[in-house]
Chains A and B, each alone.
Chain A
Amino acid sequence: MLAFTIYLSFAGALLLAIMPSAWSRGARVFALLVALAGLAVALIAFVQAGAQGTVAIVDLAWVPAMGIHYTLAADGISRVLVLLTGLAAVAGILFSWNIGDAEGDRANEFFAFFLALIGGVYGVFLSVDLFLLFVFYEIAIVPKYFLIAIWGSTRREYAAMKLALYSFAGSAMVLIGLLAAYAQAGSQTMNLQTLALHPFPIGFQMWAFPLVFTGFAILAGMWPFHTWAPTGHVAAPTAASMLLAGVVMKLGAYGCLRVAMTLFPHGLDPWGFSFLGIGSWRTVFSLFAVIGIVYGAAVALVQNDFKFVIGYSSVSHMGLVLLGLLTLTQIGIDGAVLQMFSHGILAGLLFATVGRIVYVRTHTRDLGMLSKLQLGKAMPFAATLFVIAGMASMGLPGFSGFIAEVQVLIGAWQAFPWFAIVAGVGIVVGVAYTWRAMQRAFFSDEPALDAQGAAIPIPEYDPVTWPEIAGTILLAGASLLIGLYPRLLLDVIAPAVQALPHALLTGGR
């Protein structure tokens, strides 16, 4: 039944695309209903499957001559990420409720692209056939491009093109790796589970692994291939930023785990020699991940555009995901998957606060301008929301981020203590940039003075609307729920991680 998440989204997108553009108010209601239906399916399937292993969904011959099947199935990791996608989709539509208010918004097209993107993401998380996975992965690229290029802001054409080309370059690398694996394994099947059992020669894995891992990690925002992420996030309209950071970057991390690491676990083995203390692809990518954590946080600390702060924080948080995966320990990978869920929710919440709630009312994202607006008093809802989301994002116990980051760090400590220490520093910088942004945007002491030095009265902003409140409750509630009772997800994630190829859970020993 999980397959209906995909079908509903694409059917909804198609209907919206052919809907007369005059019905823009109807478009968002319709899109919300479709997204809610998808979330309901994801939730029911999540509850029904419980801690079960892989649940088969559908298996049909598609291109039999090439051994390509339409095979969908979901293990615990997939079910958690599908649930995240459902939440992000509903929240994204709630926080784009202003699209369709004005004439010429072309809301139906906007939501058509939005749902097509969601459908592609669901598809990637549920595909077991590599061909199918690649198809959905590519399908997800195009709507991203249009959402940014048409409805975006700052340098949108540049950002959209950059994002699309980075994505295509990544998928080209993935394609080469997949074809090589398919040919190497005898060209009989594209089934991920079958291929994972094939003993690929070590020499083959040594080049296929870094190729495919990098291809996917580009989309996960791995340093030094992360540069599309901040520009893309900033240029994108709020809902697209929420999806980009919330689920699209997760596609990359998911691909790293599900394809690169599962198919080529021995690509992580030591090379047999070391250069400057680096002796394996695992160390190389872990180093990239750690640099991403610290670099992303450090750059976020000096940004003046509020959205860039969140954009770079995503790079930092995704670094933690990659580091967690590369620890090759049960607890580290558990933590990485949980961090994917947690960051998906929290990045959505942060982008919603900055891009929707604050920006739509003040028309600025410049922290220097915002600091003169006394938003803490003028917009108490936004201030409270940002405090909650910021605290959760910096890893305060009680929210989902804490439990995820702790697990990643424990795993990293077991695998490579030095990286764990540096990553810890990155998390401290994370506290600093969140604090700074919060301080400047909402609780600045700077008096609100105009050019002549006269005090500006606190302006009356539009009141908070119901979709904003509903979206906030959904996302903040999910984060709090998981933070307080992480077993809801961990009990599902842990068995799935245990079922990964044995070579992946050796902790590097």
Chain B
Amino acid sequence: MIPALTILTAIPAAAALLALLAGKRVGLAKTIALVATAASLALALRIWFGLGTTGSMHFVEHADWIPSLGIEYHLGVDGLGALMLLLAAIVSLMAIAASRKVASQPGLYFALILLLESGLFGTFTALNFFHWFLFWELSLIPAFFLIKLWGGEGCGPAATQFFVYTMVGSVALLLSFVALYFATGSMDFEALANMAATGELTAAITAHLGPISLWLALATLLGFAVKVPIMPFHTWLPATYSKAPTPVTMLLTGAMSKMGVYGLLRLALPIFGPQLAEVRTPLLILATLTVVAGAWAAAVQKDLKRIFAYSSVNHLGYCLLAIFAVALPSASSPAIALSQTAALDGVVLQMFNHGLTAAVIFWFLSMLESRSSGVLGINDFGGLRKPAPVFCGLMGIALFSSLGLPGLNGFVSEFLIFRGVFPLTWASATVSVLGLLITAAVILTVIQRVFTGPLPEQWKAFPDLTTAERFAVAPALILMAVLGLVPQVVLGTVNATVMHWLAGWRL
């Protein structure tokens, strides 16, 4: 059998070397990156359509690596993994397309983006902790340098803050899994999840290390809490998102933030389900806080990049809400199982939808930025609909997707999340509805300040989207509408995966 997942991860890594060789030739480096990413996307699509309907792991690759340490080369994807591969490929493609002016060292720039992409692919396919952690960290390094070397004013401290925060989370994560290895002798996600489902895992931890399984769960959670982020661990995010070059922000919010949610679904819930259930209430409070305060923080920002940075916190907050809501302490009834399914379906779709929508919004911001020579304050614009109707119309579609307008992708996943969460925890769900309302106000305010109202003299000649740009963004916008109108195209496979999870997990 062809090792499709290994090839997928290797394509951007190999292309990164080629791009590095391209040196100062921007066009060549960009072409290499585009071709490699397009090839990855094609392969990711092939993988997605090869999943079947059982919801179990497919394209599994298994080989010994360091047997003495229980480390195996173990890859595989289910509906979640394959969808994230698609997302990573799509967002990378958009980020590369949006990288129009690279100030210096274009070869290195595109090589780092490709390396980041490879790290994403590796993270979304690895099923052994050692191997997974390698890619988790690997993706961090190119992101750090991309922010530091090509970012805006003050990007150095932002990059450092981003790196340190994420690193602290990673170390906690690492310690937790080393402890698990000592207790069980395994680092394999599936093996650990199976042990958790039978209750062996907690027993083994208590036997070998004492009653610390809750602390291990919290340490694992911390790693993801920083990455997603969960408030109050979000403080690195606004500075990082606004200082990073916009194409890198697309990758950060579109794909890298999903690594955290992915970790919660792949590691935290299956392995530490009972422990999370113990602290479910405080976690739900933090998730609700993330939803509402994230939206509110977006409402008081004046810089467009910061507004959408906080808006991302809000949108991923719905994922956290659903993930913590399904972590139930008691045995499940059919009605509860149905709600859990809906909530997790919603989470997986929301990961994809938010990734797509946020990346497109930041893409538009990069086009806005390049037309306004760097100005991105919400009060700096006005009336852009007159000189640039197509720009505003198409960006409006992305904005309304973010607002959660029915007919576009965002609505479906948020609806599923609320549908699932409401019966599981009505109080958090009800308070979180405030997040939807505030987000609506934020998006409408952006539209009002930027698109309508009086047109300042300096933007009278604001250039509309070129034909090339229109065709470049069109596929993403069409995808938004398709996912909004016929969610079944993705939901069928996702639902099968979620049913498969819930059948095996102990929740």
Contacts and interface: CB of A to CB of B under 8 A. Distances in A.
Interface of A: 17, 21, 62-66, 104, 106, 109, 131, 134-136, 138-139, 142, 145, 149-150, 157, 160-161, 164-165, 168-169, 172, 175-176, 179-180, 182-183, 186-187
A187 B338 CA distance: 8
Given A21-B389, A157-B453, A183-B422, A165 B430 contact: no
A473 B385 CA distance: 37
B406 A180 contact: no
Contacts of A180: 422, 426
B422 A63 contact: no
Interface in B386-403: 386, 389, 393, 400
Pick the 10 closest A-B CB pairs, nearest first.
A135-B406, A183-B423, A179-B422, A65-B495, A168-B440, A138-B406, A172-B433, A187-B338, A149-B452, A179-B419
Interface in B340-387: 341-342, 345, 385-386
A168 B437 contact: yes
Given A17-B393, A21-B389, A176 B422 contact: yes
Contacts of A106: 389
Contacts of B329: none
A139 B488 contact: no
B238 interface: no
Contacts of A135: 406-407, 411
A135 B406 CA distance: 5
B418 interface: yes
A106 B388 CA distance: 13
B423 A63 contact: no
B385 A165 contact: no
A149 B448 contact: yes
Given A136-B406, A172-B437, 12 more contacts: A62-B488, A65-B342, A138-B411, A157-B453, A165-B444, A168-B441, A172-B433, A175-B418, A183-B339, A183-B423, A186-B335, A187-B339
Interface in B427-479: 429-430, 433, 436-437, 440-441, 444-445, 447-448, 452-453
Nearest to B383: A150
A161 B416 CA distance: 27
Contact of A175 (B426, B433, B447): B433
B436 A172 contact: yes
Most A CB atoms within 10 A — which of B335, B385, B386, B448? B448
B487 interface: yes
Contacts of B423: 179, 183, 187
Contacts of A21: 389
Contact of B406 (A104, A134, A150, A182): A134
A150 B385 contact: yes
Contacts of A172: 433, 436-437
A168 B386 CA distance: 27
Interface of B: 335, 338-339, 341-342, 345, 385-386, 389, 393, 400, 405-407, 411-412, 415-416, 418-419, 422-423, 426, 429-430, 433, 436-437, 440-441, 444-445, 447-448, 452-453, 487-488, 491-492, 495
B393 A169 contact: no
Nearest to A182: B419
30 contacts: A21-B389, A63-B487, A63-B488, A64-B488, A65-B345, A65-B491, A66-B342, A131-B415, A134-B406, A138-B405, A149-B447, A150-B385, A150-B452, A161-B441, A161-B444, A161-B448, A165-B437, A168-B436, A168-B441, A175-B418, A175-B433, A176-B430, A179-B419, A183-B335, A183-B419, A183-B422, A183-B423, A187-B338, A187-B339, A187-B423
Contacts of A104: 386
A64 B345 CA distance: 13
B405 A142 contact: yes
A160 to B, nearest CB: 8
Contacts of B339: 183, 187
Contacts of B436: 168, 172
Contacts of B386: 104
A182 B422 CA distance: 10
Chain A facing B: main interface SS: helix
A161 B299 CA distance: 14
A157 B448 contact: yes
A63 B412 CA distance: 10
Contacts of A182: 419
Nearest to A186: B335
Contacts of A145: 444
Contacts of A109: 389
B498 to A, nearest CB: 9
Nearest to A158: B448
Contacts of A183: 335, 339, 419, 422-423
B405 A165 contact: no
A172 B411 CA distance: 13
B81 to A, nearest CB: 20
Chain B facing A: main interface SS: helix
Contacts of B433: 172, 175-176
Contact of B416 (A64, A66, A138, A169): A66
B405 A169 contact: no
Nearest to B487: A63
B418 A179 contact: yes
A139 B405 CA distance: 7
A340 B443 CA distance: 33
Nearest to B436: A172
Nearest to B488: A63
A471 B85 CA distance: 56
Nearest to A123: B406
A313 B387 CA distance: 39
A128 to B, nearest CB: 16
Nearest to B419: A179
Contacts of B437: 165, 168-169, 172
A139 B406 contact: yes
Contacts of A179: 418-419, 422-423, 429
Contact of B452 (A17, A62, A157): A157
A66 B440 contact: no
A494 B358 CA distance: 50
Contacts of A134: 406
A172 B341 CA distance: 23
Contacts of B448: 149, 157, 160-161
Contacts of A186: 335
Contacts of A164: 440, 444
Contacts of B407: 135, 139
A118 to B, nearest CB: 15
A168 to B, nearest CB: 5
A109 B339 CA distance: 41
A151 to B, nearest CB: 10
Nearest to B407: A139
A104 B452 CA distance: 14
Contact of B419 (A66, A149, A150, A168): A66
Nearest to A180: B422
A509 to B, nearest CB: 34
B23 to A, nearest CB: 43
A496 to B, nearest CB: 27
Nearest to B426: A180
Most B CB atoms within 10 A — which of A63, A65, A131, A161? A65
A180 B418 CA distance: 10
Contacts of A187: 335, 338-339, 342, 423
A495 B412 CA distance: 36
A466 to B, nearest CB: 31
A99 to B, nearest CB: 16
B440 A165 contact: yes
Contacts of B418: 175, 179
B441 A165 contact: yes
Contacts of B416: 66
A263 to B, nearest CB: 16
A339 B416 CA distance: 37
A486 to B, nearest CB: 36
A142 B488 CA distance: 25
A117 to B, nearest CB: 13
A412 to B, nearest CB: 34
